[in-house]
C-alpha cells in the first residue's frame, strides 16, 4: 500500500469501528505510539503492535463513546500524514463527560505505519 492508501484505510477503519482490526494490516510489528502526556501511569510511549492493541483495549474498557468524527487524512511529503479526531463520551469509572479533540500524526516506512504521535 502507498501512503495515500494507508491513510485512507486508517480513516475508514476508524469511521467503521475496525481500527483494532486494521492494526495488523497497517502497522509494523515494532511500531511506536506516543501520547502527549503520561496516560494513567502507562507512560507516554508504547512499543510494538501488541502494546498498541493493548492501548485500544484499555480505551474501550475505560470509556463510553457517544459520538466521534475522523477527518480526511492530511498527507505530508512521501511518508507521513495527519488526522483530526473528535470524540465525545464519558469515563466509565467516574461518569465524567468529555469532549476531546486531537491530532494523530502517522509516519510510514516500507508500506507500514512505524510511529504514531498524538497531540491534544
Asked whether the whole model's pTM tops 0.75, one would answer yes
What are the strands, taking DSSP E only, across the chain?
A: 27-34, 45-47, 63-70, 74-76, 80-91, 97-109, 112-119
In CATH, the number for domain 3-119 is 3.10.450.50
pLDDT in tens, 65-81: 999 999 999 999 999 99
Q: What is the model's pLDDT at position 47?
A: 96
Domain ranges of the chain: 3-119
pLDDT in tens, 9-62: 999 999 999 999 999 999 999 999 999 998 777 789 999 999 999 999 999 999
Q: Which residues contact 110 (CB under 8 A, 6 or more apart)?
A: 28
Amino acid at each position: 500500500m502507498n501512503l495515500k492508501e494507508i491513510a485512507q484505510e486508517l480513516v475508514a477503519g476508524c469511521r467503521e469501528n475496525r481500527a483494532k482490526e486494521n492494526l495488523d494490516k497497517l502497522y509494523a510489528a515494532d511500531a511506536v505510539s506516543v501520547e502527549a502526556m503520561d496516560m494513567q501511569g502507562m507512560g507516554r510511549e508504547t512499543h510494538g503492535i501488541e502494546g498498541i492493541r493493548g492501548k485500544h483495549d484499555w480505551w474501550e474498557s475505560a470509556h463510553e463513546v457517544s459520538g466521534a468524527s475522523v477527518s480526511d487524512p492530511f498527507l505530508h511529503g512521501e511518508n507521513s500524514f495527519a488526522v483530526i479526531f473528535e470524540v465525545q463520551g464519558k469515563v466509565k469509572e467516574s461518569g465524567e463527560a468529555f469532549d476531546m479533540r486531537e491530532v494523530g500524526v502517522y509516519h510510514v516506512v516500507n508500506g507500514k505505519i512505524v510511529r504514531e504521535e498524538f497531540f491534544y
